[in-house]
Structure 1
Amino acid sequence: MARKPASSPSSDDLGIDEALQRAQAHWNAGQADQAELFCQRILAVWPGHADALHLLGIMAHAYGNLDLALQHVRQACLAPRAPALYFSNLAEMCRQRGLLDEGEQAGRRAVALEPGQAVAWNNLGIILQEAGKLEESAVCLERVVALQPDYAEAHNNLGNTYKLMGRLDKAAARYEHALALVPDYAEARSNFAHLLCDLGRLDEAAEQARRAIDINPRCADAYVNLAGVEMGRHRHAEALRWLDSLLTSMPGHGNGLIARSKCLRRLDRIEEALDSARQAAATAPYSAEAHNVLGQALQAAGRFDEALACFDKAARLPGTAMGTAAVNRADLLAEIGRGAEAAAVYQQVLAADPGNVSAWAGRVDQKDYAAGDPEIAQMEALLATGAVQGLDERINLHFSLGKAYMDAGDGPRAFHHLGEGNRLKRATFTFDVEATGRWMAEIAETFTPALLGKFKGASSDLPVFVLGMPRSGTTLVEQILASHPQVHGAGELRVLQSLVSGMGNYPAAAAQMTPDEAARLGEAYLAQVAPLARGRRHVIDKMPANFMHAGLIRLILPNARIIHCRRDPVDTCLSCYTKLFAAEQRFAYDLAELGAFHRAYDALTAHWRAVLPQDRYMEVEYEAVVDDLEGQARRMVDFLGLPWDESCLSFHRTTRPVRTASLHQVRRPIYATSAGRWRGHADHLQPLLRALGLASPR
C-alpha cells in the first residue's frame, strides 16, 4: 500500500489538533500552500471547524483577498465558543471593507467576551472613530492605553480620534507619545503632519510627512498628507506630483484618489477630478468621504442633480464626512437658488453639531443679524472655550463673527474679528504687493496701441468678459445680463488664466506672438467656452482678475466685449477685507496691501480705458447701477448688440447657479445700503485710506 505524502494528510493520518498545529506551523514558517492544505483536510473531516476557518481567513487577508477572508472568519465566528480574538479580527476586516455597522457589532462582542484584551478595544475604537462616534471611540482607546501604556499604535489611534473631535492639543500629545515610544513610527509621523497642517504650521508638517516617507516609502497617507501641505501652500501642481507618485505604486488607494480629485478640482481640471472621484467611490463604495468628493467634482462640472444625490448618499453613510457632506449639500442648494432648503440643512447640522464651523459660515452668509442675537454668543463661545482649534476653522469663525457684528452695527467688535481673521489668513502665504504692482505696470507698458492693432485674432464675438476688482459689482452685472434670454452666464472661468500661464514669460510673450499664434490662442479659448453658451448669442466669463488681461483679450479675441465694473475704491476694499474668499485673493487680507493693490489696478485699468476701443470696452459704475438700474441695464444690453428684455430688471428672480462671494446679494432686489458704507468705519480703515492716498475721510 502506497504511503500518502506528508504534505497531504488525512484524518486517518493525524488527529484534528495535530493537523491544526501543523497548519499553524507551516503558516508561521511562511509556507502558505502547505498550511492551506492542512486546513482544507480538517474542514473535509469537520466542516465548519472554527480554528481552521479562522486561519484560512487570516491567510486570505494576508494575501489581499479581503472578501474571502471575511467569508472564512464570519463562518468561524458562528461557532458556539468562538473566542474574542476571532470577533476582533472580524471587526477589523469589516472596517477595512467599509462595513462599519457589522464591524462594530463584532468588536463589541469581542470586548464583551474578553474585557482585558487591548487589541480588541483598539479595533473597536478605530471602528467607532471611522463611524463618527468619536466620544465612544475615545473611551475605548483611553482604555487601551490604560491596559497597555507602551502600545504606540493605540496612542496614535487615540490621537486620530482627538483630532477628529477638534481637540488638537490632546491629539498632538498622543502623537508625540507614540513617537517617543517608537521614533521610527511612520504612520504616527504622517498623522502628526496632518495635524500640524491644520494648525497652519506648514513647514513642520512637511518635515514630518517627508520623514514618514523616508522611514517607510509605502506609508501611503504620508503622501496624501504631504500633498495636503502643498495645497495649503497653494502649490497644487507640487501636491499633484506627490499624489501621482503614490498612485503609481498603489493605483487603488482610496484616500489618494480622494486627495487627487480635490487637487485637480483646484487646478480646474474638472473632468480628471471627476475620474479620480469616481475611482475612489468605486474602490470604497461605503466611504462617505469618497461620495462627498464625487459630489464636489460633479458640482464643479455643473451637474447639480447628480451632485446633490452624492451629497445625500454621503450624509447617510457612517463616518466623519457626514456633516461635511450635509454642509456641501446646503452650499449647493444656496448656489442654485434654493436658499430656504439650504437654511434648513444648516440648522439641522448645527442642531446635531454646534461646533460645525462650515455650517456656521453658511448660515451667517444667509442671515442678517441684529444686536443680541444668541447665535453670536454661541460662535463667540466656540472661540473662547478652545472648542475650535484648527487654523482654517478659527479663521472662518472670525470672519463669520465679523460679518454678524457688522450686520448688528457693532463696528469695534466686527473689526476685532475681521482683523484677527485676516491676520491669521495672511500668515499662511507669501505675497509681494510691490512686485505685483510692478508686474501690472509692465503689462500696461507692453500693450501699446501699436501692439493692440497688430493682430486680428479669432473673429467670434461670442465671449463677453465681465471683470474688475472682486466685490466691485461683477456678479451683479453678470446676473443682470444673464437674465437676458440670449445670454448665458458661465461664472468665473479660469480658461484665460490657463492660456496666459501656458505662454511663459507674460506679458513679454504677448509682444512676441505671431498673428497665427494670436489666432490659435483665441480659438483655444473658444473651444473651451463655446460649448457653455448652450445655443445663446453670448456667454459671459466673469473672472474678475481678467482685468489684468484685457489687452490680451483684444489681441486674441478682438470682437469680444469687455465690461469693466468699477466701484468706490474704499467700499470695494472694505468689502474684500470682510470676505474670506474661496479662491486665491492674496492681496485681500491686509488693509495697506489692499490699498496698494487697488492703486496698481486703477492705473492698469486707466490704461485700458485709454487704448481699447469704446465699441468693445465699456465701464459700468456700481453706484450708477444702484441709482438707475434700468438705464444702466439698457446701456449694457445695447453694448452687447441685443434687443432689450424686461427680465434683466428682475435679475434676482433668475434661476441659475451663482458661485461667487456675492451669491446671496444677487438673489435679492437691488439695494443701496452698501454704497458708501465705509464712512461709518473710517477709524478702522486708516491703513487702507493712507495706501489709497486719502489722508482723511472724504
Structure 2
Amino acid sequence: MKRISDLHSQAIKLINNKAFIDAHPLVVNIIRQDPEHADAYFLLGIINMEVGQPEKAIQLIEKARQLDADSEREYLVYLIKAYSLTRNREKVENLEGIFSQHKSHSPLLLDTVGVALNKVGLHHQAMDYYQQAIDQDASKESFYYNYGTAAKFLGRFDIARKAFKQAIELNPHYVKAYFAMTELSESVAELVPDMQKLISQVNNPDEQLHLAHAMAKEYEKQNHYQDAFSILKQYKQHTLNRIKYDHQAEDSLFDALHTLAESPIQQQGCASNQPIFVVGMPRSGTTLMERILSSHSMVYSGEELHDFSITVKAHTGTASKRLLDKAVLTAAYQADHTQIGKQYIQRTAALSKEHPHFVDKLPFNFLYLDLIRRALPNAKVICMLRDPLDTCIGNFRQLFSLQNPFTAYALDLDRTAQYYQRFYRWVHQFNDLQHPNFKIVRYESLVTSPESQIRDILSFCNLPWQQACLQVENNSAPVSTASKVQVREPINTKSIERWKRYQPHTDEIEAFFKAQGIGELS
C-alpha cells in the first residue's frame, strides 16, 4: 500500500494537470487510510467541482474546513467558488465577508474570489479583488482579462479595452482577450491580421472557435457580412463534428413539455409574487426587457439566475448529469411543486431585500414555463418573441459556452431554425393554457412603439408607470449577457431585419419557416 504522502503528492500533480478522473481513486485511497485527512476531502471537493458536481464539492470542502482550521483560507476560497457555481449569491456574499477579514492573500486566491463574485453578479466587488491581484502580480494576463470582463459588465468599456489590450501584450496568444476586444463597439481592425495568423497556429478547437467569432465581429464592422458568415460556418462545423450533440434528446424534451403541460394541477404552489421571469430564445430581446423592468424603482435585476433549474433538479433525485432532460422533467412533475417554489424564493431572498420584485432573466427558463406556473402561480412571466430569421441569425452569430447543453443547436443554422420552431410551438401551446400571469411580448412591437408597449408591460406586472423604464440607457445596473453593449443605448430599431445582411445563406431557413407557417409574428 502506497504511503499517504506519496498518494497525496501524486493526486495534486494529476489535479494540476486536469487529470481529475485519474486523481479520484488516489484521493479516495487516502481517505480510506486516514478518514480525517482534511486535504484529501478538499482535493476530492476540487475534483467534484471540476467534473460538474458543485453541490457535492461544497459538502466535501466543508468537511475539510471542519478537520483543519489552519487551512481555512484556501479551503474557504474554493468553497466560495463552489457556491458560485450553484449561483448561490447569498452564500458567496457571506463567505466573502469572512474571507475579507483575513490579511495578506496570494494573487491567485484573490483572482479566484473575484471570478466567483463575477459569476453571481457582484462585479464591483470582483473588480476590487482583480485589482488587488494585479497590484501584487502584474505579469498574469488572466488577471487583466478578468478585470476587463468585470469592467465590461459594468459598462466601463474604456477600462475594459485597456485591460484586454494589456492581456494581449502580455500574451499575444491569449485568445479570449481578442474575442473580448471585438465584443466592444469600436473596431479593432488592426488585430485582424494577428487573429488570421493565430487561428492557423492554435490547435485547440475551442480557441479556434473564439477566434472565428472575433474575426466575424470585425468583418461585420467593416460590412463584410459574407466573410463573417463563412468563417463562422467553417469553424462551427468543425466544432459540431467533434462534440456529441444529442438532438434526439433535445426533441424528446420538447415532446415531453407538450404532453406534461396538459396534466392537472394538484397543488397550490408558493404564493410569492416577487419574481418576474423574462424568458425567450437568446438574442430575442430578453436583456432589453430586463433593463426596462429593472429601471423601475420597485424592481431589482437578478440578471441570469439558475436557481429555478437547480431547485427543480434537486427535487427530482434523478441520476442524469443534465439539469434538464426528459427524465428530469418527468420526475419534476411528481415532485412537491409548492416546496420547489418556496426553496426558489429562499435561494433568491437576497435579491428582494430592498425591492418588492426582482427579475430572473434566464432565457432558457422557457423550458420551465409550466413548472413555474405550478410552483409560483403568482409570478409574472414575460416571454420575448422575435422575428425567426433575426433570432436564428442572432443565435448563429453568438458564441455560446460549449459546456451549455441547451445551446449546441447554434453551431448549425438549419438546426437553429428547427430549435426555434420547437420553441415557437411550445410557447404558443403554453399561451393557449391562458395562464393569467403569462404574457408574450414581440420585440419588433416593443422597439417600434416603446412607450405604449412598456405601459402595457408595467400594467401586466402591477407596477405603476415610471418614465425611467423608457430610458434604459440610464440604467447603471451590470449586464453580463451578449447584449452588454447594445443595451447601454436608447431603445432603437437598428436590429430589425438584420438577417437580410446574410442572404443568401438564410434562404433555406426562410423557406423552412414559411413551410411551417412561421413567418409574420401575428
If the length of structure 1 is used for normalisation, what is the TM-score? 0.62
Q: Quote the offset at 1:245 in angstroms.
A: 9.9
1:461 and 1:211 map into 2 onto residues whose CA distance is: 47
| Contact 1:530–1:539 (8 Å) recurs in 2 | no
160, 164, 168: which one aligns with 1:342: 160
- 2:348 counterpart SS class: helix
Residue 414 of structure 1 is matched in structure 2 by 228
- 1:609 counterpart SS class: helix
| Contact 2:385–2:440 (8 Å) recurs in 1 | yes
Question: Is 1:665 the equivalent of 2:486?
Answer: yes
Q: Quote the offset at 1:429 in angstroms.
A: 4.5
1:588 and 1:228 map into 2 onto residues whose CA distance is: 30
541, 554, 578: which one aligns with 2:397: 578
| AA of the residue aligned to 1:422 | K
Q: Quote the offset at 1:324 in angstroms.
A: 1.3
**1:584-603 aligned within 5 A:** 584=404, 585-603=407-425
Question: Is 1:289 the equivalent of 2:289?
Answer: no
- 1:564 counterpart SS class: strand
Q: Quote the offset at 1:281 in angstroms.
A: 9.1
Aligned length: 491
341, 349, 352: which one aligns with 1:522: 341
Q: Quote the offset at 1:476 in angstroms.
A: 0.4
| Contact 2:123–2:153 (8 Å) recurs in 1 | no
Residue 355 of structure 1 is matched in structure 2 by 173
**1:113-152 aligned within 5 A:** none
Q: Quote the offset at 1:462 in angstroms.
A: 1.9
| Contact 1:564–1:620 (8 Å) recurs in 2 | yes
| Contact 1:186–1:216 (8 Å) recurs in 2 | no
When the two chains are superposed, the root-mean-square deviation of aligned CA atoms in Å is 3.9
2:59 and 2:208 map into 1 onto residues whose CA distance is: 29
Query: After superposition, what is the alpha-carbon deviation per residue over 1:243-283, rounded to whole angstroms, capped at 9, x for unaligned?
Result: 89999999849888766654542232456667888999999
Question: Is 1:265 the equivalent of 2:84?
Answer: yes
Change in 2 beyond 3 A, CA 1:227/1:408: farther
Query: After superposition, what is the alpha-carbon deviation per residue over 1:379-408, rounded to whole angstroms, capped at 9, x for unaligned?
Result: 222223x2x444443332221112221222
1:526 and 1:238 map into 2 onto residues whose CA distance is: 22
Unaligned runs of 5+ in 2: 32-36, 317-326
Question: Is 1:619 the equivalent of 2:443?
Answer: no
| AA of the residue aligned to 2:455 | R
| AA of the residue aligned to 2:400 | F
- 2:505 counterpart SS class: helix
Residue 355 of structure 2 is matched in structure 1 by 536
| Contact 1:565–1:620 (8 Å) recurs in 2 | yes
Which piece of structure 1 moves more, 665-674 or 425-434? Answer: 425-434
| AA of the residue aligned to 1:376 | V
Query: After superposition, what is the alpha-carbon deviation per residue over 1:605-658, rounded to whole angstroms, capped at 9, x for unaligned?
Result: 111110033x41111111111211112111111111222111111101111011
**1:86-125 aligned within 5 A:** none
Q: Quote the offset at 1:469 in angstroms.
A: 0.9
| Contact 2:384–2:443 (8 Å) recurs in 1 | yes
| Contact 2:107–2:137 (8 Å) recurs in 1 | yes
Residue 246 of structure 2 is matched in structure 1 by 432
| AA of the residue aligned to 2:194 | Q
| AA of the residue aligned to 1:586 | A
1:510 and 1:187 map into 2 onto residues whose CA distance is: 38
1:693 and 1:246 map into 2 onto residues whose CA distance is: 59
| AA of the residue aligned to 2:419 | F
1:538 and 1:214 map into 2 onto residues whose CA distance is: 46
2:14 and 2:393 map into 1 onto residues whose CA distance is: 40
| Contact 1:311–1:325 (8 Å) recurs in 2 | yes
Q: Quote the offset at 1:523 in angstroms.
A: 2.2
| Contact 1:456–1:555 (8 Å) recurs in 2 | yes
Unaligned runs of 5+ in 1: 1-63, 65-184, 195-204
1:416 and 1:558 map into 2 onto residues whose CA distance is: 46
Change in 2 beyond 3 A, CA 1:693/1:477: same
Return the structure number with greater relative CO, CA threshold 8 A, min gap 6.
2
Q: Quote the offset at 1:299 in angstroms.
A: 2.9
Q: Quote the offset at 1:468 in angstroms.
A: 0.8
| AA of the residue aligned to 2:298 | Q
Question: Is 1:487 the equivalent of 2:299?
Answer: yes
- 2:446 counterpart SS class: helix
Residue 217 of structure 2 is matched in structure 1 by 403
| AA of the residue aligned to 1:622 | Y
Change in 2 beyond 3 A, CA 1:671/1:423: same
188, 191, 199: which one aligns with 1:383: 199
Q: Quote the offset at 1:482 in angstroms.
A: 1.1
| AA of the residue aligned to 2:468 | S
Change in 2 beyond 3 A, CA 1:519/1:208: closer
- 1:539 counterpart SS class: strand
**1:19-418 aligned within 5 A:** 186=10, 190=14, 193-194=17-18, 231=50, 252=71, 261-270=80-89, 285=104, 287-318=106-137, 322-369=140-187, 373-384=189-200, 386=201, 388-418=202-232
Query: After superposition, what is the alpha-carbon deviation per residue over 1:532-557, rounded to whole angstroms, capped at 9, x for unaligned?
Result: 12432321111111111111222222
2:108 and 2:241 map into 1 onto residues whose CA distance is: 29
Q: Quote the offset at 1:435 in angstroms.
A: 2.0
Residue 310 of structure 2 is matched in structure 1 by 498
| AA of the residue aligned to 1:578 | R
2:345 and 2:508 map into 1 onto residues whose CA distance is: 42
- 1:683 counterpart SS class: coil
1:381 and 1:284 map into 2 onto residues whose CA distance is: 44
Residue 561 of structure 1 is matched in structure 2 by 380
| Contact 1:574–1:678 (8 Å) recurs in 2 | yes
**1:636-647 aligned within 5 A:** 636-647=457-468
- 1:502 counterpart SS class: helix
Q: Quote the offset at 1:500 in angstroms.
A: 1.4
473, 490, 500: which one aligns with 1:679: 500
Identity of aligned residues (%): 24
2:226 and 2:514 map into 1 onto residues whose CA distance is: 24
| AA of the residue aligned to 2:430 | W
2:440 and 2:508 map into 1 onto residues whose CA distance is: 28
Q: Quote the offset at 1:580 in angstroms.
A: 1.6
| AA of the residue aligned to 2:484 | L
Larger Rg: 1
| AA of the residue aligned to 1:677 | R
